[in-house]
Every structure is written in structure tokens, then in C-alpha cells.
Amino acid sequence: MRAVLQRVTSGSVAVDNEVVAQIGLGYVILLGIGPEDTPAIARDLAEKTAYLRVFEDEAGKMNRSLLDVNGESIVVSQFTLYADTSRGRRPSFINAAKPDLAEPLVEVFTARLREFGIAAQQGIFGAHMVVDIRNDGPVTILLELPQN
């Protein structure tokens, strides 16, 4: 499972010109699911996301977590994180999980964030989404479990 965390001052997701998720300070999380991923991996990655310290403290050091800053999140399913570009000019997505596996694991990940008390919204699985990311820093972190 792969997550690209974008630390944001604000973010939103629109589908068919309608905003379906909107946050202030927090993360826009682009979440890719692989075919070997499990609910346990989704929960572990959500916990790592909740406690990762990339928000600044009073001294300007990245020393606060999403929980510490009472941040919000938007989780966006992103199968393209599993793109294979090793051959040709068009990416292959054969390494991404099929929707019947991926969609429930996106739900598990989001639910686990909520268990920590994080306001977690989602894009619409499988929809064409327009994601607005107002990246702060910029800070972009790639998390992957299991780690290769």
C-alpha cells in the first residue's frame, strides 16, 4: 500500500463540478492499493499517517503530527501510484489492486483515521475527480507498507 501525503493549508475534491470533500489544515492523501494489501496493512498505514510528525512546532521544526495540530484529511483512491513505466510509453496498471479489493481497503484506511479522531473525508472511488491541493511547504511524503 502506498500513500502520498501532501501537507496542505487547504484541499478539496470535486466530481462533476460538485465539491464532495473539503478541508483546511491537514493532509490530502493519495492512496494506492496493491493486490497483496490487507486490512491490517491499511490500519497500520493509517496509524503511521496519523502520528507522522511533519507539521511545524513553535521553533519551526517538523515535530507535530496530524493529531497534534487537530488536522483534517481527504483520502483519494489513486491506482496510478502503482503505474509501471518500465516498458514503452504508456504506463501499465497491472500492479494495482482490482476495485473489489481496493475500495474496501480505502474504507478501512479512512475508518482507522477516524478512530484516532481525525476528520477524514474521501473522494468518490472510481470517479473522475478534480483534486485541489494547496501544498504547504511544500511537504510531500511517500509512505509504503510493507516497505520494499
In whole angstroms, what is the distance from residue 55 CA to residue 70 CA?
A: 11
C-alpha cell at 16: 462533476
With contact defined as beta carbons under 8 Å apart, do 101 and 35 qualify? yes
Task: Mark whether 125 is an active-site residue.
Answer: no
Catalytic residue among 6, 49, 78, 110: 78
Task: Mark whether 78 is an active-site residue.
Answer: yes
67: number of Cβ within 10 Å: 16
In whole angstroms, what is the distance from residue 136 CA to residue 62 CA?
A: 12
With contact defined as beta carbons under 8 Å apart, do 72 and 22 qualify? no
Residues 21-40: b if buried by 16+ CB within 10 A, e if exposed: bebebbbbbbbbbbeebeee
Task: Mark whether 80 is an active-site residue.
Answer: yes
Catalytic residue among 79, 110, 121, 122: 79
Residue tagged 473522475 (cell numbers): 128
What residues are labeled active site? 78-80
